[in-house]
Amino acid sequence: MNVTHLECGNCHKEHEANVLQNLCIECGKPLLARYDLTKAAETLTKESLKTRPENLWRYAEVLPVEQAENVVSLGEGFTPLFKAEKLAATLPIKLNLYIKDESTNPTQSFKARGMSAAVSMAKELGVKKVAAPSAGNAAGALAAYASRAGMETFLFMPKDTPRANIIECEQTGANVTLIDGLITDCGKIVAERKDAEGWFDVSTLKEPYRVEGKKTMGYELAEQFDWTLPDVILYPTGGGTGLIGMWKAFDEMEAMGWIDSRRPRMVSVQSIGCAPIVKAFHEGEVFAAEFPNAATVASGLRVPKAIGDFLILDALRKSDGTAVAVSDEDLISAVKEIGAAEGLFCAPEGAACLPALCELIEQDSVKENEMVVIFNTGAGVKYLECFE
């Protein structure tokens, strides 16, 4: 077996891996998959990667699925890493700036990575019906992968979710319910109804495998930078799955002898209208309080309470990173700045990394000639309402 067991990220209690699991039965926090990395490293080598498929399943030994026929794929991952020289030239200091462009994933966001892994594992473990709350892209990705796996999908979304997200879910076969509330309200409905309805809850970090799909962004960065890591990673943070995942991937790669103990400084980027992680980080908290009256056009960042908050905060601190909140006005104008300079029509969430980077430069926390990666997590075309 690739996964030897699941370990609670908080109390470290071990859980069995080959049955359906949601949260830790002891403390209710997220479970993380643990692998026999010595065994994985026997076949998963830097050399072996040269001939593997150009999607995230190239890292199969450090992914959960046992039987190849259970892999549900639409070609996710192995996204381009662009050098952003023109954009860098607009900044006050000289930087080696890169954009990891996740908009080229199936369903146009990096949510595809997590859902490919989670739906594949759900299929392996016999799930027929899946449910999730979503502020946007997670819903589209779940609908697509679940339909491909032959499962029924039940989605609960805030009624002001971008229209593209709602329409794509309906068109890819999901049952969609719009809620007059936030993603946390949608999450409560799934939690209340799932047992009676027989739904498997695939909410962010409430099952162990979305984070496994998203961690492949960390593997890819290392591979694309020829087994070095950048100095700084800016990550637009909602539930924080990708940040937690990349942090985990770095440890796994070190355990397999692929990289040393140096780590990028991890930076969480949020919107001023919903910045629970930024607030908790600067107040020195271990957990983040629910952010009141959460509001931002960057729907993927509208997560007032993240269940993996302590894991995000831990990675930011251990990496000597930080957390930055930017205004909606700045993140929307950044879409055009990045687009006009580099030809990428970014999601507002991804674009938020630019004003955040400017702030870090101003504070002197990013230095001349450093290697910086910003994540464009999705496609701007899904957010047409934001540009009217």
Ligand X SMILES: *Cc1c(COP(=O)(O)O)cnc(C)c1O
By CB under 6 A, name the binding residues for ligand X.
109, 111, 136-138, 204, 236-242, 300, 347, 349, 377-378
Q: Which does 187 bind (CB under 5 to 8 A by kind): Zn ion, ligand X, none?
A: none
Nearer to ligand X, 116 or 237 (CB): 237
Nearer to Zn ion, 78 or 209 (CB): 209
Q: Which does 26 bind (CB under 5 to 8 A by kind): Zn ion, ligand X, none?
A: Zn ion
Q: What is the DSSP string of 242-281?
A: HHHHHHHHHHHHHHTTSS-S--PEEEEEEETTB-HHHHHH
- C-alpha count within 13 angstroms, C-beta hemisphere, residue 290: 6
Nearer to ligand X, 121 or 347 (CB): 347
Q: Which does 147 bind (CB under 5 to 8 A by kind): Zn ion, ligand X, none?
A: none
Give the integer Cα–Cα distance in Å for 80 and 376. 11
Question: Cβ-closest residue to ligand X?
Answer: 300
Q: Which does 24 bind (CB under 5 to 8 A by kind): Zn ion, ligand X, none?
A: Zn ion
Q: Is 27 in the site for Zn ion (CB under 5 A)?
A: yes
Cα 374 to its chain centre, rounded Å, is: 13
Smallest distance from ligand X to CB 197, Å: 24
Secondary structure class of 234 (helix, strand, coil): strand
Q: Is 25 in the site for Zn ion (CB under 5 A)?
A: no
Stretch that binds Zn ion, among 25-33, 287-295, 346-354, 365-373 (CB under 5 A): 25-33
Q: What token pair was written down for 360? A: 């870090």
Backbone angles phi, psi at 233, to 5 degrees: -120, 125
Nearer to Zn ion, 6 or 324 (CB): 6
Q: What token pair was written down for 103? A: 């908009």
Q: Is 26 in the site for Zn ion (CB under 5 A)?
A: yes
Give the integer Cα–Cα distance in Å for 128 and 68. 19
Q: Which does 300 bind (CB under 5 to 8 A by kind): Zn ion, ligand X, none?
A: ligand X
Nearer to ligand X, 220 or 349 (CB): 349
Long-range contacts of 384-388 (CB under 8 A, 24+ apart): 384/162, 384/163, 384/164, 385/162, 385/163, 385/297, 386/162, 386/297, 386/332, 386/335, 386/348, 387/332, 387/335
